[in-house]
């Protein structure tokens, strides 16, 4: 059986919110806008697409140019992350090694811009553990569609998506894969959903899902 754990990025594998907040505010300042975003603003937007974030933040100052403002902020972010990376959640590499040792493929699917997952790989040195990745910036598709793309490309029989927000939970459900909530991240999901409070809990949690088949895995025919 080909089984895969697909990770969300922000709030699941690392916390880049401080760096992103600083970068966006630099981008706004560079464009001549007085608006400044807070750490809470950025965390509330994690998991959304770049277009959604643009209108969430910038319609209030220039709705006709919200997406252009966003592009400038993203460019600033990508430059800033080269020297000011996010903070990896404790135990991530150990969890990836344990999953690989148990026969799981690993992938990353995020609603981020193109190049952001690669920046995470470069900053952390963890790219060697992953067989695939996909993002909104690469396909223009929503997260559920990108999860299914990764499953199809890798001929997956069973998939688990690990994420921290309600949007992640909904995307996994729509894609037809199991879901594990990273409860240490930014968001909340309905009660009763399998969850982990640290990455050290991930391997036994996904093993239980497979062994007991408590949640239906990826269905190739769906």
Same domain, yes or no: 72 and 103: no
Instruction: Measure the CA–CA gap between 145 and 98, rounded to whole angstroms.
Output: 27
**Structural domain of 65:** 17-81
**What 3-state DSSP class applies to 5?**
strand
Q: Residue count of the chain, please give it.
A: 222
Residue 194 sits in a domain whose CATH number is 3.40.50.1000
- A 10 A CB-CB count for 21 gives 19
Q: Which residues pair with 162 in a beta bridge?
A: 7, 180
Domain boundary among 51, 81, 111: 81
In a domain, 54, yes or no: yes
Angle at 27 between CA 26 and CA 31, to 5 degrees: 115
Same domain, yes or no: 192 and 142: yes
Residue 56 makes CB contacts below 8 A (sequence gap 6+) with 45, 48
Please tell me what DSSP assigns to residue 87: E
Specify the pLDDT at position 73: 95
**What is the number of alpha carbons within 13 Å of residue 65 lying toward its C-beta?**
9
Specify the pLDDT at position 136: 93
Domain boundary among 28, 52, 81: 81
In a domain, 174, yes or no: yes
In a domain, 75, yes or no: yes
**What 3-state DSSP class applies to 177?**
coil
| Nearest C-alpha neighbor of 21 from the set 61, 68, 76 | 76
Same domain, yes or no: 54 and 108: no
Same domain, yes or no: 102 and 183: yes
Specify the pLDDT at position 213: 57
Same domain, yes or no: 139 and 63: no
Give the torsion sign (CA, 173, 177, 181, 186).
negative
Same domain, yes or no: 52 and 99: no
Same domain, yes or no: 74 and 101: no
Specify the pLDDT at position 46: 86
Tens place of pLDDT for every residue, the chain, 222 residues? 899 999 999 999 999 999 999 999 999 999 999 999 999 999 999 888 889 999 999 999 999 999 999 999 999 999 998 898 899 999 999 999 999 999 999 999 999 999 999 999 999 999 999 999 999 999 999 999 999 999 999 999 999 999 999 999 999 999 999 999 999 999 999 999 999 999 999 999 999 998 875 444 554 544
As a whole number of Å, the end-to-end CA separation of the chain is 18
Same domain, yes or no: 10 and 63: no
Angle at 84 between CA 80 and CA 88, to 5 degrees: 130
In a domain, 133, yes or no: yes
Same domain, yes or no: 141 and 55: no
Residue 82 makes CB contacts below 8 A (sequence gap 6+) with 119
**What is the number of alpha carbons within 13 Å of residue 54 lying toward its C-beta?**
18
Q: Which residues pair with 180 in a beta bridge?
A: 162
């Amino acid at each position: 059986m080909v089984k895969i754990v697909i990770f969300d990025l922000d709030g699941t594998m690392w916390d880049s919110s401080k760096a992103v907040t600083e970068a966006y505010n630099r981008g706004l300042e560079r464009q001549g806008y007085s608006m400044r975003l807070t750490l809470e603003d950025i965390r509330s937007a994690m998991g959304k697409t770049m277009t959604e974030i643009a209108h969430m933040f910038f319609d209030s100052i220039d709705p006709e140019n919200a997406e252009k403002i966003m592009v400038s902020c993203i460019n600033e972010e990508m430059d800033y992350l080269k020297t000011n990376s996010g903070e990896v959640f404790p135990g991530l590499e150990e969890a990836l090694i344990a999953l690989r040792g148990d026969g799981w493929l690993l992938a990353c699917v995020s609603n981020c811009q193109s190049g952001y997952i690669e920046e995470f790989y470069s900053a952390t040195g963890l790219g060697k553990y992953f067989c695939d990745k996909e993002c909104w910036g690469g396909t223009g598709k929503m997260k559920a569609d990108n999860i299914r793309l990764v499953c199809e490309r890798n001929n997956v029989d069973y998939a688990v998506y690990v994420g921290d927000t309600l949007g992640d939970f909904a995307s996994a459900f729509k894609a037809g894969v199991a879901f594990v909530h990273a409860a240490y991240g930014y968001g909340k999901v309905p009660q009763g959903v399998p969850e982990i409070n640290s990455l050290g809990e991930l391997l036994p949690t996904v093993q239980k899902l497979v062994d007991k088949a408590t949640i239906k895995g990826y269905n190739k025919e769906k």
